[in-house]
Structure 1
Amino acid sequence: MEGLAKFPPRPTGAGAMFQLLRDGRPRTRAALVAATGQARSTVAARIDALREIGLLAPAGEASSTGGRPPSTFAFDPTSRIVLGVDLGATHARIAVTDLAGEPIGHLQEPLAIADGPTRVLDWVAEAGAKVIARAGRRADELVGIGIGLPGPVDHTTGRPVNPPIMPGWDGTDVPGELYARLRAPVLVDNDVNIMALGEHRTMCPTVSDLLFVKVATGIGAGVIMDGELRRGAQGAAGDLGHVTVPRAADIPCRCGNTGCLEAVAGGAAIASRLRDQGAAVSSTADIVDLVRAGDLAAGQAVRQAGRDIGTVLAASVSLLNPARIIVGGVLSEAGEHLMAGIREIVYQRSLPLATQHLRIATTGAGAEAGVVGAAHLVTEQYLSAASIDTLITAKEDS
């Protein structure tokens, strides 16, 4: 992250020891000596270093078997803050969290990503300052900003790459633009990746292998394998919406190809078909409202979309063998119509071994998955052993 790169990392050992403390459980010096195998003086020095940078705080006294009770120390996630930003095609959410990813303030507004980077990033900066102030925190406590964009992102640079629904964004230096506005390091990823990360870290951290599928205006997936987010060689992993499906045939997609899943099962495609049938539909949320109101045509259209998505997911299940498929996005709020279609095809077309313990469910984190995942994107880098060693080195050299 830009704010840390100016100081060359120098191993201190405190960063590695801190990883034992990230679960928030209070520990004594003796417990840390036993866990690390280091001398008591070494452990004490590392505790002091972690306290100096604000990541460790006294946590009371442990029970004693005789004599003075030993002091305990624990990770203090409230010492710094992070901004998590989730930008969709037509919405923007932002949250300020502590270093454990716990939201302490949030804001949501309609915002069109097609308005372009200047308008949208200005909103992020203004909303970020507002939500930090409302939470009673200071801008100088901000250690980083995580942001999800609704299009392909080169994760190494944070720049969008030919995003179909983001006119004017191609190649935009999003980290640089936001750093100039908020003076904090910035990490950028695809919006579905951050939703997958948020869902995994908050709702099912013990599930090592899962797919998070977002079904909204477009369709995409975040891939968690072996407990880690997998982006692929160039960050394009999980682009389900542009996999060809037989039923799409020659239907044009906004990506420039034909026959894409998104062209028949995305919210925009469903809304277009319902309008052709005379329905007053202008957005994916309108489709959900119709389904909830019992509209037969809307319910059938959403169920068929589920079947089309299930066709692509069945291949993904055979290829990746996830333990869980989580479905989020606006269209997932349309009751069981979408989920029934997905389950029907996945269980029908995938091998029994691959589906033996497979669970397909809607998101538990809901709309907060994106902002929480964006915050975790930052904290997992900020709290890494190497990053903490760098912070300690900088503190000692200042």
Structure 2
Amino acid sequence: MGSSYTAGQLFQLFRDGTQMTRSQVCAATGLSRTAASERLDELRSLALIAPVKEAPSTGGRRAALFAFAPTALAVAGAAPAGDGARVGVYDVGGSCLGWAEVGGDEGPSTLVETARSIASQGAVHLLGLGLIAHGGGELSSGAHHGLTVRAYGRTEASAIAQAQRFGSDRRVLYCAVGRTTACTLVAERHVLWSTDDLGHAPLAGESGVECSCGSTSCLKGLASNLQSAGPGGRGTALSRQIGRSLGSGLTALVSFLEPDVVVIDVAGSNGEDLLAGVRGWLYSHVHTSVAGTLSITRGVAVDGGLANAAAAAFIDEALTASSIDGRLQRRHDHREARPTPKNPCRQSLTFAVDGVRTPQINRR
């Protein structure tokens, strides 16, 4: 991309923990030293990178090494929990800074103010709130009470949280099995495709399990009966049958999308039996070139649950090249439009929480 590298694109080189000097940035991007310094200064102004140490001397002055600095910025995640909601705040590296429970009778503004209260305790700047539907009053994506809110579906957020286990260079096909069978493809930390229901396509050779659509041979009908399968005996056989059927339904997706990892997220004691059925079918029916590198694994419990997943989704969105470049452009436009004061002074950023009942904050 040469000299067209933007600050947001440059940041992606640092996100996995890589440390680079200005000279190394120039070599990796083709930017001139002046342009590289400008991009680095822009990223430092957003508190996304910072000098961490000096590189070994090559005979002259030691060059500064720059790296991702995740601790100055934070995002919040909120999701239903029990009769209310859980609100957690995480730095942009994903570490939890604190969390609190909010009662189910509280309004949407309380979610925002709770997030601000936790962030202020950690002295971090809150970028926004990732949200999965809250029973006390739903928020849609946009600006609410002075904070950017992004609403996510459960499947989308959970897929991003699960994909973080495998690294940004792995294509992950996430499949959640329950009353519906939902799938999401995540690549380079972004959701490329998602569906909340694979539908009611008939499966050849399956019968006897009635679905809400009236069919006795569709994947959704089989998957919805997984929870009724008891341990051992018939339960094991039914779970493996459902796994093979799920594998059959996923065959075309796996062959076309060519994921590196398939994550089957299923609750219950029969999850391993279902996973065995999926593995048995896919490994024997997808093309050898795909099956040879394909890993099929079970989903794991995400620390912090859906609130963590919603925060993870917001972090990945906030740290894309386009999001970073957009923030820089808005800052530039604001400075261009703002009149120069006669007596300029620096103003500190504060979060007002007056009038809002502050919940107990659990810090890590």
TM-score normalised according to structure 2 size: 0.71
> Which residue of structure 1 aligns with residue 198 of structure 2?
240
What is the alpha-carbon root mean square deviation over aligned residues? 4.1
Segment of structure 1 superposing worse, 315-324 or 365-374: 365-374
> Which residue of structure 1 aligns with residue 181 of structure 2?
219
- The CA distance in 1 between the partners of 2:109 and 2:219, in whole Å, is 31
- The CA distance in 1 between the partners of 2:112 and 2:330, in whole Å, is 30
Given the alignment, which residue of 206, 210, 235 partners 1:251? Answer: 210
Structure 2: segments with no counterpart, 5+ residues: 339-364
> Which residue of structure 2 aligns with residue 198 of structure 1?
161
Shift of 1:81: 0.7
The answer as to whether partners of 1:148 and 1:374 remain within 8 angstroms in 2 is yes
Correspondence 1:70 to 2:7? no
Against the structure 1 CA distance between its residues 243 and 376, is the aligned structure 2 distance closer, same or farther, given a 3 Å change threshold? farther
Correspondence 1:84 to 2:77? yes
The answer as to whether partners of 1:107 and 1:127 remain within 8 angstroms in 2 is no
- Deviations for 1:91-112, whole angstroms, at most 9, x for unmatched residues? 9665422223333445689x9x
> Which residue of structure 2 aligns with residue 386 of structure 1?
322
Matches within 5 A, 1:244-393: 244-246=202-204, 247=206, 251-253=210-212, 258-259=215-216, 260-266=218-224, 269-271=225-227, 273=228, 291=231, 296-331=233-268, 334=270, 336-363=272-299, 366=302, 371-393=307-329
- The CA distance in 2 between the partners of 1:186 and 1:257, in whole Å, is 40
Against the structure 1 CA distance between its residues 336 and 297, is the aligned structure 2 distance closer, same or farther, given a 3 Å change threshold? same
- Deviations for 1:116-140, whole angstroms, at most 9, x for unmatched residues? xxx59947954982696289336x7
> Which residue of structure 1 aligns with residue 128 of structure 2?
144
> Which residue of structure 2 aligns with residue 161 of structure 1?
none
- The CA distance in 2 between the partners of 1:329 and 1:94, in whole Å, is 24
The alignment partner of 1:174 has SS state of: coil
Q: Give identity over the alignment, percent.
A: 26
The alignment partner of 2:297 has SS state of: strand
> Which residue of structure 2 aligns with residue 174 of structure 1?
140
Correspondence 1:187 to 2:150? yes
Give the letter for the 1:144 counterpart: G
> Which residue of structure 2 aligns with residue 5 of structure 1?
none
Against the structure 1 CA distance between its residues 217 and 344, is the aligned structure 2 distance closer, same or farther, given a 3 Å change threshold? same
- The CA distance in 2 between the partners of 1:71 and 1:13, in whole Å, is 21
**What is the number of equivalent residue pairs in this alignment?**
329
Shift of 1:143: 0.9
Shift of 1:59: 1.1
- Deviations for 1:177-234, whole angstroms, at most 9, x for unmatched residues? xx435x32223333222222222233243323x3211123432111236875222xxx
The answer as to whether partners of 1:106 and 1:131 remain within 8 angstroms in 2 is no
The alignment partner of 2:152 has SS state of: strand
The alignment partner of 1:27 has SS state of: coil
- The CA distance in 2 between the partners of 1:90 and 1:242, in whole Å, is 33
- The CA distance in 2 between the partners of 1:212 and 1:223, in whole Å, is 6
- The CA distance in 2 between the partners of 1:96 and 1:379, in whole Å, is 11
The answer as to whether partners of 2:87 and 2:111 remain within 8 angstroms in 1 is no
- The CA distance in 2 between the partners of 1:14 and 1:323, in whole Å, is 29
The answer as to whether partners of 1:328 and 1:366 remain within 8 angstroms in 2 is no
> Which residue of structure 1 aligns with residue 22 of structure 2?
29
The answer as to whether partners of 2:183 and 2:197 remain within 8 angstroms in 1 is yes
Shift of 1:52: 2.4
Structure 1: segments with no counterpart, 5+ residues: 1-10, 112-118, 151-165, 275-289
The alignment partner of 1:17 has SS state of: helix
- Deviations for 1:134-160, whole angstroms, at most 9, x for unmatched residues? 89336x72212233569xxxxxxxxxx
- The CA distance in 2 between the partners of 1:105 and 1:226, in whole Å, is 27
The answer as to whether partners of 2:182 and 2:195 remain within 8 angstroms in 1 is no
